Amino acid sequence: MAILREISVNYTFTEIDCDLTGKQMTSPELVYKAFNFLKFEAKEKFIVINLNNQHGIMNYEVMCYK
């Protein structure tokens, strides 16, 4: 009899207080200042930032660690 392994992924969303949401990102310098805390991370992170049509941060999420 063959054995099949299956991986199931469950996503959960949690609302948190975040100082970044709603900030306008109109220049690369503002993005650098907003995410400057990442330079202290032990591992490299790939982050996706979702902006609204006025360049305000709606949310961001870590996609993977490297």
Q: pTM to 2 decimals?
A: 0.59
Q: What pLDDT digit, counting tens, does each position of 9-19 carry?
A: 887 777 767 77
Q: Distances from the Cα of 11 to the Cαs of 8, 14, 21, 46, 66, in angstroms?
A: 10, 10, 21, 18, 20
Contact, 15 vs 24, CB < 8 A? no
20-42 residue pLDDT tens: 778 888 999 998 988 898 899 88
| Residue whose token pair is 């990442």 | 38
Q: What is the pLDDT of residue 53?
A: 92
